[in-house]
Structure formats: C-alpha cells, structure tokens
Structure 1
Amino acid sequence: MSFSYSSIGLGLGFAQVIENGNIVGSVIGVLAVSVANKLWLTFQALRDIAFAYPYALILLEIQDNVKSPPAENSITKRVSAIAMVVTAIFYLGCGCFGYAAFGNDTPGNLLTGFGFYEPYWLISFANPCILIYMLGGYQVNLHYFTSTLSLF
C-alpha cells in the first residue's frame, strides 16, 4: 500500500516538475531569516521523515526475534537491509520530486497539494491505500502496547 500511494505522489511530483519547466526548490533549502529558524525547520523535516518511515522502529525487534539457523538468519538480515535501502531510495525520490515541484510551499499532504483532481479515481485510489497502510501500522504498534500491558 505504501508503494501504491507513494508512486502516485512520485508520478504527480514528476509531472508537476515537467509542467513547471524548472525546479522550484533550491539546494540550500528555506531562506530563513535566522539560523535558529532554519535549524528549527530542519528538525521538523527530520521529524516528518521519522514519522513517515515506521519500519525503523521495529527493525531491531524483527532481527532479534529471528531464532533460525545461521544461514536463514543471515538471509533475513540481508533481505531486511535490501528492503530498507529500496524503501529509503523510493521515499527520498518522493520527497525530492515534491520539493522540486513546489519548493518551500510544499504542502503537508502531497497528494492534495497538486490541485490535480482530473482523474478523480487516482486520488480516490490513493486515499484508501493510505488508510490501509495506517491500519497496518496501528495493528503493529498495538501489539507492543498489549504485550507491555500483559506484563502487569
């Protein structure tokens, strides 16, 4: 599901850059009035990245729970590393194309920021994908909460 709505956002960002004819964002980022303001915006961006990539929270638990023979354990670690690299590259592409399309005015919800509603089915397909993705994350996080409660 994550790749579904992210590919839609990536495609829309790419199309917007092509439509603009140039890259709206800059390499140095937001032209803030002070160093403190720029630092604050940088930490907000890091927070958004951490929120968008929840797999990092459970990676250590996944690797810790692998109680297989060493051959299977090394395969699991290698596959997890490949999955993280592919996902990180994909999400980085979404962020870069979103910033290239809108610059400092990039909306919080990239899918609705395009003013792109002409095939309505595309946005109508992406929104349930986000919902299903969030429900899966809710289930995973609820597992840790209930296992903590069972200790008492």
Structure 2
Amino acid sequence: MARRLRPVGLDFIEDAPIRLTFAARTAASPEAVYRALAEEVESWPHWFRAVTLARPTHGGSGREVRLMGGVRFQETIMAADPEQRYAYRVDETNAPGVRALLEEWRLTPADPGSGTHLRWTFAADGPALFRLALAGTRPGLGHSFRSAVRALDARLSAQR
C-alpha cells in the first residue's frame, strides 16, 4: 500500500539525515543529458536498469516511477534547470521505512566540448533502521548509478 511521505524542499539535499552522493562523467553534452533526464522521462528504463517504468504525470510536473522488485514512486519535479539540474521529491511510495526522499542530478560541463560531469544525490530520512539499511546500500546504488550513466552515454552516443 502506498504511503504519503513528508514533503521537503530543495534544501533537503543539504540537510537530509542521510545523503548518498555519486559522480560520473559522460561524453554527451549537458544539453543531451538534461534532455534524457527531464524531457525523455519514458526512456529511463532503456538506460537505467533498475527502472521498469517512468512516465510524466500532472502535465509534466510529476512522475510515476517503478523499480525492479515492485517499488513504486509518485514524484513531484522540484527543479528542472536546463543543462544544470533535475530534482524530484517522492510524495508517495510503497517502500517501507522512508519518511522523506529527494533526488537531485547536477550537470556540469566538462572541458569545452568534452562531455558532462554528473552528480546524483539521494537524500532521505527515516527511522534509524532505515538509515542504517540505506547506508548499507551505498555500494549497490553507486554501481547502479555508474552502470546507468554508461548505458545513457552509449544511448546518447548512438543518437549522434
């Protein structure tokens, strides 16, 4: 059964009790990466293996996301700054324990014409057991992120 989470603002990225941050580089331009993240939401399952469904809701101001294993999210887009940042807050989920969750993708141009630095921050709150469990997933989340960035890079390279 889906549960409503505590609504948080963008400042939660800095203030969350648990923050997991990962970084990678892609050869694609910030424009292409942003487009894949924010405008081509339905393409996420093609490059982010853990995602089985992603679709815009509420005229593009929200998203519905499903993950492998049956976890579901209803999200609100909190920031959509072209070629710079894409952030979303989870409003409803069937995942146990989580009280608040916000994710942010930061895009920074690499040296001129040489791609994009990506930084993904996963900011969350929940009871102590949830925090401990989430901290234990850091290696798996990092692997999932790096694999997704490689797949996204290959997908964007094939589109050029």
Using structure 2 for the length normalisation, give the TM-score: 0.27
Give TM-score scaled by structure 1 length. 0.28
Q: Which has the higher strand share?
A: 2
Greater Rg over alpha carbons, structure: 1
Name the one with the larger helix percent.
Answer: 1
Instruction: Considering Cα pairs closer than 8 Å and 6+ residues apart, tell me whether 1 or 2 has the greater RCO.
Output: 1
